[in-house]
Each structure stands twice: as structure tokens, then as C-alpha cells.
Chains A and B, each alone.
Chain A
Amino acid sequence: MASYAIQSPIIARMELDTDAALVMRARDGDYGAFETLFERHKTMAYRFAYQMTSRRDDAEDIVQEAFVRAYQNLHRYRDEAKFTTWLLRIVTNLCTDQARMTHRRTNLEQQQAADSLDWMTIGTTEDPNENLEQDRRREALRKALSALPEHHRKMIVLRDIEEREYSEIGAIVGCSVGGAKLRVLRARRALRDRIAPLIGKDQE
């Protein structure tokens, strides 16, 4: 629990706006405090959910459901944990549930979901050949990531895309720091194994 030794009005205001303080106020019925938490962290949660699902609608549904569950279970939130960690844990669980429900989705549907990302065709360099190569690799990576098992995919997203610390990753997925490092290594190996054939196929 943060101490509220007021040194100046600005510092006092900052302490009152911490995630922990907002959660406390939301628990006491201040819905506006919960809306502030939503505005502050929805993009982070959405980005993770999108990386896991590759579909905007699914990602938005997951994020909305995650915040509804967070609101419903505010009394279970332990102040010693970061709110973002707790929230991402909920999002991760929802992504896992969704992956279980849609694991039988046909390859065609998955292909369509990956191909709908028109915004990815914009290159980052002036050389059109290099842009093409970048797009090809990125497309291959996106496909390979989508095809990864959910337990590998979330480790890649948390560590190598969202750049979370291993301690937080362990708290999110429910393992030790060493366990998180091991899982990330296994996921990277699995992703590399999936990328190589795709890159080789595109280059032929």
C-alpha cells in the first residue's frame, strides 16, 4: 500500500492516480476510477490479444471481457501485484480459452485472417526490393506465429514483442523466472523451425 505523505499537491495527485489507488477507489464504488484504469491499459491489453488472435474483433472482445471480469473480481486483486500483470493474466487465460474453442478452425480461415492485414504491406525502406523481402519475411513470421501452439505463442508475444521482464512473465503465466526463461527458449526454437520452411518456400 502506497504511503500518502503529502509533499506537494502535484505529488499527492500522482500518488492518488496510481493503479493501486484507482483499484481501491473502484472497489469502493468509484466507477470513474475503473474507467481511468480502462483508458490507461486497454491498448496494452488489446495489443497482446491481437498478437495472440491476429483478428481485431476477437482481440476487442477478449479485452472487453477481460475488463468486465476485472471489474467483477476487484475484491480478489492483491495489492502487492501490479495491476497490468493481473490484467494480462486474465487476457492470457481468455486467449487460451479462445484458442481451445477455435483450434479446429480450418486452414483456409486462418489464411484469410492472416491475409486481411493489408496495412502490413507498407515498407519501411526506400528500396522496393528490400521492402518486398521485409514484407515476405514478416508475412512468414506472422503465419508461423499464428500457427504456433498457444503456449509457445504467448511466450513469444510477451517476451519478444511486448518486451515484458521475465519476472512479470512468470507472474502472468504462473511459473518461476527460470521457468519463464526456459519456456521462451523453447518457443523461439519452435518459431524458428516453423519460419524456415516458409521463408524457403517464398524464395523459391
Chain B
Amino acid sequence: MNRKSEDNIAKLAFGELSDAEASDVLRNVGGNDEASSALIAFKEMRADLQLLRDVPPDQLSKQRLQDAILGQGLKPERNAGSWNWIWAPVATAVFAFVLTSVLRQAPSQDPIVAVNETTPADQFAMFSERFDLNDRDIDFSPRPEIVSGDAVVRVANKNRRGGSRAGLAPTSSSVSLEGPVILIEPERDAGTGAQRAVEVDSYEDVLVSS
């Protein structure tokens, strides 16, 4: 009996053939002692295997399982497909958006252009009268005059000889100097013929009088 025949007999014994296939196999088994013995053996094996389904009762318990899980220090694993990972890039994007918005809202001030039209003597007279200063307290370097809108304001450096700023009070001018200050120098550039301009980093270094 070849292997294919033996397999067909096993399928027949275990009920895995269609009616037509079973009829064919039975026809070949008939009259063949070896095939008949094989069919009987497989049928008995099938019946006995079914009896092996009964097993002694187990002693598994939920407590025993829980102890085993806790004993290995296990914690519930989060699903890898959950959306928890998305919060970091979302938070970064929100922060970037907020930061950009805050920066955009910062007032952009047009620079204030100051034209230096005063002479040192004029400036000294102006400031000494107001602040009760003498020529030993004042820096005689040219002081620019700020032109802001229709108002003309005079500007002086706050840095005096001696270092102290006492006595130099801010003006009561209504001109607002919150933005950068561009000081236009009276001298013209030799190459281009245009007046030189100097940008003052902070208006706090500039004293305004009007």
C-alpha cells in the first residue's frame, strides 16, 4: 500500500472526505487486507483519541496568576497604536505658534530721525539754563536735534564728564521716544554727498529737550 493510499484511508477514517471521495476509497479498500487493516486501525485510533480528551482538573487560579504577573514586575503595556506619542510634536507646534504670535504683536516703531542742527554753544546754553549746569559738567560733543513729526526736539547725550547723571532730568516734551533713534550728522559723506546717519541702540542714551 503506497503512502497516498494510506493517507486517503486515514482521511476516510477521520471523516475528512466527501461522499464521492469516500466511495472511491472504500472501493479500493474492498478486497485489500492491508488496506482494510489500516482502515480499522485508523478508526480505532480516532475513537481512542476522543477518549483522551478527558484530563484531570487543573489547579490554576486568578490569585496564582496575579502573583506571577506581579512577581515579574509587569505593568500593563500601552497599546503601540495609541495616540499618546502625538502630544510632544503638537505641544511643540503650539508653542512655536504662540511664540511667533507674541513676536508679531511686538510694536514695531518707526525709527525717529534726529537731525543735528545745533551748535555746541547753543546746546550748552539750552541745557545749562534748564539744568543749572556749567561747562565743566557737559560734554561739548555735537548734540543732535530730533525731528519728530511737526515737533522739533533737541537731543543731548546723557553721558557727562564725572559720570553722575544727577541734575539731568528728562524733558517734559510730549514727544514719545520708544523706538530706535536715527541721528543725522551735519557733515556730508565725501564720496556720495549724502549726510551720515547713526542709529542709536537705545533712546535711553539720548536726552530730549524741546
Binary per-residue interface labels of chain B (38-63) against chain A in the complex, 1 for a CB within 8 Å, 0 otherwise: 10011011101111111110111010
Cβ contact within 8 Å between A63 and B56: no
- The reply to whether the CB of B79 lies closer than 8 angstroms to some CB of chain A is yes
| 11 A-B contact pairs sorted by A residue (CB < 8 Å) | A24-B79, A27-B77, A31-B76, A35-B65, A50-B55, A71-B76, A134-B48, A137-B44, A137-B48, A185-B7, A188-B10
**Total number of A residues with any Cβ neighbor in B under 8 Å:** 49
Supposing A51-B55, A137-B44, A185-B10 touch, asked if A67 and B65 sit within 8 A by C-beta, the answer is: yes
Chain A residues within 8 Å of B46, by CB: 160
Say yes or no: A27 contacts B79, CB within 8 Å: yes
- Which secondary structure dominates where chain B touches chain A? helix
Cβ of B27 within 8 Å of any chain A Cβ, yes or no, is: no
Check if B60 sits within 8 Å of A188, measured CB to CB.
no
C-alpha gap A137/B49 in the complex (Å): 10
Verify if A138 is at the interface (C-beta below 8 Å from B): yes
- The docked-state distance in angstroms from the alpha carbon of A141 to that of B54 is 14
Residues of A close to B14: CB separation below 8 A: 160, 188
**B residues 1-48 touching A (CB-CB < 8 Å):** 3, 6-7, 10-11, 14, 38, 41-42, 44-46, 48
**B38 nearest CB neighbor, chain A only:** A192
**A38 contact from B10, B38, B53, B65, Cβ within 8 A:** B65
Beyond known contacts A117-B56, A134-B48: 6 more, CB 8 A cutoff: A47-B55, A59-B58, A64-B65, A65-B68, A72-B74, A138-B51
Cα–Cα distance between A75 and B76 once the two chains are bound (Å):
9
- A101 CB to nearest chain B CB (Å): 19
Question: Given that A72-B74, A75-B79, A189-B10 are known contacts, is A42 also in contact with B58, CB under 8 Å in the complex?
Answer: yes
Interface on chain A toward B: helix, strand, loop, or mixed SS? helix
* Cβ-defined contact, A46 with B58, below 8 A: yes
The interface residues of chain B lying within 8 Å CB-to-CB of A68 are 65, 68-69, 72, 74
Determine if B64 is an interface residue (Cβ-Cβ < 8 Å).
yes
CB within 8 Å of A: which residues of B? 3, 6-7, 10-11, 14, 38, 41-42, 44-46, 48-56, 58-60, 62, 64-66, 68-69, 72, 74, 76-80
| CB-based contact B52/A145 at 8 Å | yes
With most chain A CB atoms within 10 A of its CB, the pick from B41, B49, B77, B78 is B49
Chain B residues with Cβ under 8 A from A138's Cβ? 48, 51-52
A167 at the interface (CB under 8 A from B): no
Q: Which residues of B contact A71 (CB under 8 A)?
A: 69, 74, 76
Contact B6 A189 (CB under 8 A): yes
Find the A residue at minimum CB distance from B63. Answer: A35
User: CA–CA, A161 to B59, complex, Å?
Assistant: 22
A119 at interface, CB cutoff 8 A: yes
B55-A195 in contact (CB<8A): no
Residue of B nearest to A56 (CB): B56
A11 at interface by CB-CB < 8 Å: no
Note all chain B residues with C-beta closer than 8 A to A156. Answer: 49
A97 interface hit (Cβ, 8 Å): no
Q: Specify which chain B residues have a CB less than 8 angstroms from the CB of A24 in the assembled complex.
A: 79
Contact, CB under 8 Å: A64 / B56: no
Which A residues are in CB contact (< 8 Å) with B51? 124, 134, 138
Q: How far is the CB of B186 from chain A (nearest CB, A)?
A: 77
CB distance from B174 to the nearest CB of A (A): 66
| Interface contact B78-A35, CB-CB below 8 Å | no
Distance between Cα atoms of A74 and B11 in the complex (Å): 38
Closest 3 CB pairs of A and B: A75-B77, A46-B58, A29-B76
Partner of A75, one of B41, B50, B66, B78: B78
Query: Could you tell me which residues of chain A, from 15 to 48, have a CB within 8 Å of some CB in chain B?
Result: 24, 26-29, 31, 35, 38-39, 42-43, 46-47
